[in-house]
């Protein structure tokens, strides 16, 4: 069965510090990995995705994620956090042609 | 270009009542998906339309849920009769190309359903 784990319900970081939001997955087959962000009272917004090629993927708002096949991880990172990055982040994996499997979400709190 | 829209944004109903949620996908997107997030848990797949046809409805919880996509444009998701455990946020998403695993799905803002 396909699954995605986001082990941290919440991540707290000070503005200007680097941030990491963790994601691990378990799939049969080659995974396509995605990160989405949900701001309060908004829908899910696409941040970035890994399909193939370079393991380091760059996305919107300065975010990046590193695909690690041996550790089955796809952690989201940003070198310098902003207060405006505070939101709910979802990792997702897609194996077949349609549905996503999502993690439970990680709430990121960036404090001034 | 308008994104995915959903109506209503919030709905509060009593157990046993009926609720209908609507999703308007991005124009030209053949694929439409419904997902649900319950009680702060993971977002779970409900079903997938390709145009007006149900491609995969393996995530539908039970026969109290009925999804339609007449004419291959907007979709409705009806819950009848609603139960307490149906409370959650219902998301709709759309994408353009079928059978493209790398295709990004674009999500709507969700409908928050509370069943009392």
φ, ψ of residue B72 in degrees (nearest 5)? 70, 20
- Are B104 and A51 within 8 A, CB to CB? no
pLDDT of res. B96:
85
Quote the CA–CA distance of A110 and B7 in Å, as a whole number: 31
Question: Does residue A11 surpass a pLDDT of 70?
Answer: yes
Question: For B66, how many CA atoms within 13 A lie in the half-sphere containing its CB?
Answer: 9
Task: Calculate mean pLDDT across residues A74-91.
Answer: 97
Question: Does residue A49 surpass a pLDDT of 70?
Answer: yes
Question: Does residue B100 surpass a pLDDT of 90?
Answer: no
In chain B, what residues touch A45 (CB-CB under 8 Å)?
107
In chain B, what residues touch A96 (CB-CB under 8 Å)?
101
Quote the CA–CA distance of A86 and A96 in Å, as a whole number: 32
Task: Calculate mean pLDDT across residues B35-39.
Answer: 92
Task: Calculate mean pLDDT across residues A54-60.
Answer: 92
Rounded mean pLDDT of chain B?
Answer: 92
Confidence tier at B1 by pLDDT (50, 70, 90): low
Quote the CA–CA distance of B17 and A46 in Å, as a whole number: 34
Rounded mean pLDDT of chain A?
Answer: 92
In chain A, what residues touch B48 (CB-CB under 8 Å)?
98-99
Question: Does residue B103 surpass a pLDDT of 80?
Answer: no
Q: Greater confidence, B89 or A97? A: B89
Helix (H) / strand (E) containing A12: strand A10-14
In angstroms, what CA-CA distances link A66 with A58, A63, B1, B3? 9, 10, 31, 28
Question: Does residue A31 surpass a pLDDT of 70?
Answer: yes
Question: Does residue B38 surpass a pLDDT of 70?
Answer: yes
CB atoms within 10 A of CB B22: 15
Question: Does residue A98 surpass a pLDDT of 70?
Answer: no
Chosen from B105, B108, B110, B112 to mutate, greatest number of chain A CBs within 10 A: B105
pLDDT of res. B102:
64
pLDDT of res. B98:
63
Closest CA of chain B from A50, distance in Å? 8
- Under DSSP, the state recorded for A60 is G
Burial (Cβ within 10 Å: 0-12, 13-18, ≥19) of residue B86 = buried
Quote the CA–CA distance of A88 and A9 in Å, as a whole number: 10
φ, ψ of residue A61 in degrees (nearest 5)? 55, 25
Question: Does residue B4 surpass a pLDDT of 90?
Answer: yes
Q: Greater confidence, B95 or B39? A: B95
């Amino acid at each position: 069965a396909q699954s995605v784990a986001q082990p941290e319900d919440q991540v707290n970081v000070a503005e200007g510090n680097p941030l990491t939001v963790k994601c691990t997955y378990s799939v049969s087959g080659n995974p396509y990995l995605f990160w989405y962000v949900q701001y309060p009272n908004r829908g899910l917004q696409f941040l970035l995705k890994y399909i193939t090629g370079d393991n380091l993927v760059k996305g919107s708002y300065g975010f990046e994620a590193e695909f690690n096949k041996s550790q089955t991880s796809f952690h989201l990172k940003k070198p310098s956090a902003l207060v405006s990055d505070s939101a709910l982040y979802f990792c997702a994996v897609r194996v077949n042609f349609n549905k996503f499997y999502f993690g439970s979400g990680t709430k990121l709190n960036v404090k001034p | 270009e308008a994104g995915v829209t959903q109506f209503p944004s919030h709905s509060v109903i009593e157990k046993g009542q009926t609720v209908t949620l609507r999703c308007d996908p991005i124009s030209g997107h053949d694929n439409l998906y419904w997902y649900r997030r319950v009680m702060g848990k993971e977002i779970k797949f409900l079903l997938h339309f390709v145009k007006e046809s149900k491609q995969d409805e393996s995530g539908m919880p039970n026969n109290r849920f009925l999804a339609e996509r007449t004419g291959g444009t907007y979709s409705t998701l009806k819950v009848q009769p609603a139960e307490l455990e149906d409370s959650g946020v219902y998301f709709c998403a759309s994408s353009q190309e079928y059978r493209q695993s790398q295709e990004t799905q674009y999500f709507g803002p969700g409908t928050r359903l509370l069943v009392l």
